Amino acid sequence: MPKSALDKDLQRVSGLETATNDLSRSLAAPGLALVFLVLAMLWASHIVTDGPGSYLVIIAAVIAGYMALNVGANDVANNMGPAVGANALTMLGALVIAAIFEAAGALLAGGDVVNTLARDLVTAETHMDDMTFVLVMMSALLASALWLNIATYVGAPVSTTHAVVGGIVGAAIAAAGFHVVAWANIATIASSWVISPVLGGMFAALFLILIQLSITGRVDKVAAARRWVPIFIAVTAATFTLYLATKGLSRIWKPAPWLTWTLAISIGVLAWILSMPLIRKQSLTIENRTKHVASLFRIPLIVAAALMSFAHGANDVSNAVGPLAAIVDRLQPSEHGLEVGIPFWVMFIGASGIALGLALFGPRLIRTVGAQITKLNEIRAFCVALSAAVTVLAASAFGLPVSSTHIAIGGIFGVGFLREYWQRRAMDTVAVPRHARHVHPDMLNATPELALTRARKQDRRRLVRRQHVLGIAAAWVVTVPATATLSAVVYAIMNLFMH
Give the chain's domain count: 1
Between 392 and 141, residue with greater pLDDT: 141
Q: What is the pLDDT of residue 1?
A: 46
d(CA 496, CA 378): 54
Range of the domain at 378: 34-498
CA distances from 365 to 44, 73, 498 (A): 30, 7, 37
pLDDT band, very low/low/confident/very high, at 482 (cuts 50, 70, 90): very high
**Higher per-residue pLDDT: 466 or 170:** 170
Q: Over 50: is that where the pLDDT of 145 sits?
A: yes
Phi and psi angles of residue 155, each rounded to the nearest 5 degrees, phi first? 80, 35
Confidence at 344, pLDDT banded by 50, 70, 90: confident
> Quick check: 247 and 396 in contact, CB under 8 A?
yes
Q: Is residue 2 part of a domain?
A: no
User: What is the rounded CA–CA span in Å between residue 48 and residue 61?
Assistant: 10
What pTM did the predictor assign? 0.83
User: Which sign does the torsion angle of CA 415, 371, 316, 149 carry?
Assistant: positive
- Of residues 288 and 255, which shows the higher confidence score? 288
% the chain with pLDDT above 70: 82
Is residue 39's pLDDT more than 90? yes
Question: pLDDT-based confidence at 426, cuts 50/70/90?
Answer: confident
Q: Report which of 48, 1, 72 is spatially closest to residue 365, judged by C-alpha positions.
A: 72
Residue 10 lies in a domain: no
Task: Give domain status of residue 158, yes or no.
Answer: yes
What is the DSSP track for 91-143? HHHHHHHHHHHHHHHHHHH----THHHHHHHB-TT----HHHHHHHHHHHHHH
Q: Give me the torsion for CA of 143, 148, 149, 151, rounded to 10°.
A: 130
Q: How many CB atoms lie within 10 A of CB 41?
A: 15
Asked if the model's pLDDT at residue 156 lies above 90, the reply is: no
**Do 166 and 143 contact (CB within 8 A), yes or no?**
yes
pLDDT at residue 167, rounded to an integer: 92
Give the per-residue pLDDT at 125: 60
| 331 vs 298 pLDDT, higher one | 298
Residue 26 counted as domain residue: no
Q: What pLDDT is attached to residue 435?
A: 44
Helix ranges, 340-403 (H): 344-371, 378-398
Torsion angles phi and psi, residue 38, rounded to 5: -65, -40
More confident residue, 188 or 301: 301
Given a contact cutoff of 8 angstroms between Cβ atoms, the answer to whether 402 and 199 are in contact is yes
For residues 216 and 117, the model is more confident at 216
**Residues of the chain with pLDDT > 90: what percent?**
39
Quote the pLDDT of residue 338. Answer: 44
Q: Note the pLDDT of residue 437.
A: 44
Helical packing angle, 54-74 and 344-371, nearest 10°: 20
Higher pLDDT pick, 399 / 419: 419
Q: What angle do CA 466, 468, 469 make, to 5 degrees?
A: 65
Helix (H, G, I), strand (E, B) or coil at 464: strand
User: Coil, strand or helix: which one is 202?
Assistant: helix
Q: What is the pLDDT of residues 3-30, one digit of tens each?
A: 566 555 556 655 555 555 544 556 788 8
**Residue at 410 is within a domain:** yes
Instruction: Identify whether 414 is part of a domain.
Output: yes
Is 23 part of a structural domain of the chain?
A: no
In 3-state terms, what secondary structure has residue 189?
helix
Cα separations (Å) of 79 from 107, 209, 231, 358? 18, 22, 23, 11
CA dihedral 33, 35, 39, 40 (to 10 degrees): 20
Q: Which of 51-55, 178-182, 479-483 has the highest mean pLDDT?
A: 479-483
Greater model confidence, 27 or 38? 38
CA distances from 303 to 48, 104, 421, 477 (A): 39, 15, 30, 32
Domain-located, residue 306:
yes
pLDDT band at 467 (very low <50, low <70, confident <90, very high): confident
